Every structure is written in C-alpha cells, then in structure tokens.
Amino acid sequence: MDVQVFGTHKHADVRKALRFFKERRVNVHFVDLNERAASKGELQRFAQKFGVSALIDKDSKRYADLGLGVVRYDDARWLDKLVEEPLVLRAPLVRWQHKVTIGLAEGDWKSWIEASKA
C-alpha cells in the first residue's frame, strides 16, 4: 500500500499523519509544499469530493498575509491561487488510489489499510 501525503514538515497534523502511516508500515510518498506545489489536477481530485472551500486554510498565516479574507474568487480562480500559493492549503492532503482526505482522518485511513489487506 502506498499513500501520497501533501503538506509541510512544520505542520503538526502532517507530522501526525506521517507518524500514523509509519507506525503501520505503510509506504508514504511525501510532497513537501515548501519545495513543490501540488498540481491543479491533484487539487481537483480533492475539490471534486470536498469542494474548493474545504481546501482553503483560512486560519493559516499565509492566508492572512495575502489578504485573502476579503477576496471573492470563483472555484476555478481559487484552484489557480492554491497552485500559486500552496501554503494556503489545509493540510495534510492524503491520497490512496482514488480515495482522498483533507486534514486528520485516521478513521478513513484505517479503513484504507484494512481494505488494502483484503
């Protein structure tokens, strides 16, 4: 089983997600958003399930620094902005096969692990 985790090492929830998978001996492909932004196609997978607004971390320092609280973008413009500014994304973004989660979702992850063993 291989999962893909998007986030930064400084983010506490990302560290918890990485530890969760490591403890269960799951292979993790970590994408550090400080080094490489998620592609628009990747973000669309998450947006299709949860909506674009669920991807936006309105409590992040970068969101405040950019003054995004007052802007009114449509979903397509928000996706473009999230590709340009990956530190505005909620983290961690986790993907396994065609399943995705945003934030800590240990219950979902446990079900993925069980499904991969079946």
pTM for the full model?
A: 0.92
Task: Pull the structure tokens for residue 52.
Answer: 């674009």
**What is the side-by-side order of every strand in the sheet holding 99-102?**
27-32, 2-7, 93-96, 99-102
The reported pLDDT for the residue numbered 92 is 97
Query: For the chain, which domains are there?
Result: 2-117 (3.40.30.10)
The reported pLDDT for the residue numbered 11 is 95
C-alpha–C-alpha distance, residues 66 and 100, integer Å = 27
Residue 118 has pLDDT above 80, yes or no: no
pLDDT tens digit sequence for 96-111: 999 999 999 999 999 9
| Residue 33 φ/ψ, nearest 5 degrees | -70, -15
C-alpha–C-alpha distance, residues 116 and 118, integer Å = 6
Task: Pull the structure tokens for residue 96.
Answer: 């396994």
The reported pLDDT for the residue numbered 31 is 96
pLDDT tens digit sequence for 6-58: 999 999 999 999 999 999 999 999 999 999 999 999 999 999 999 999 999 99
Across the range 66-81, mean pLDDT stands at 92
Residue 117 has pLDDT above 90, yes or no: no
